Amino acid sequence: MFHEWLFQVPEGKHSLIGIILWWEARRIPVNFIVGSVGLISLVIFYIAIGSSGHLEPGEDAVEPMALFVAPILFNIAYTGGWLAEIALRIFWRDSQPLIGPILLKVGITFSLFVVLLPSIFWGCYWLLHAIGIL
């Protein structure tokens, strides 16, 4: 199953190249997961903020450059995952092979939180505005 493969604990001790290959084999699927959720979140965000009456005519809901920079920053942070694992294995020789999957789970969870936060905030704002609380 995909979930099992994504967070599969590497067998035995990995070399530094093995660690990088483990992470890089998962880069495209993780980009797809975070990117898909981010795209859905962006659509919800635009609908919620657009119908909330908060934007003035001609005003952008989000800086268009942010839409191009966000995936680049995500991939830089993703690379930080395998750099952190390598550093932990160098400085903490007895580290377990579980470090990579744990770092990946934390990274995906944080990334999904970040991409969902604007749509959750503006979705709640729109809902509270629609029912007359705001």
Residue 98 is predicted with a pLDDT of 78
Domain-located, residue 11: no
- Domain span holding position 84: 17-130
What pLDDT, in 10s, does the model give residues 85-115?
Answer: 999 888 887 667 678 899 999 999 999 999 9
Domain-located, residue 59: yes
Distance CA 75, CA 130 (A): 37
118 CB contacts (<8 Å, ≥6 apart)? 41, 42, 45, 62
Number of domains within the chain = 1
What pLDDT, in 10s, does the model give residues 16-57?
Answer: 888 899 999 999 999 999 999 999 998 988 888 877 777 676
Domain-located, residue 51: yes
Domain-located, residue 2: no
Distance CA 20, CA 4 (A): 19
Q: CA nearest 3: which of 31, 23, 40, 33? A: 33
Which tokens sit at 66? 């942010």
Domain-located, residue 3: no
Q: How far is CA 47 from CA 42, 44, 79, 119, 126, in A?
A: 9, 5, 33, 9, 9
Q: Which residue has the tokens 């905030």?
A: 121
Q: Are 26 and 104 in contact (CB under 8 A)?
A: yes
Domain-located, residue 31: yes
Domain-located, residue 8: no
Residue 95 is predicted with a pLDDT of 65
Domain-located, residue 24: yes
Residue 128 is predicted with a pLDDT of 87
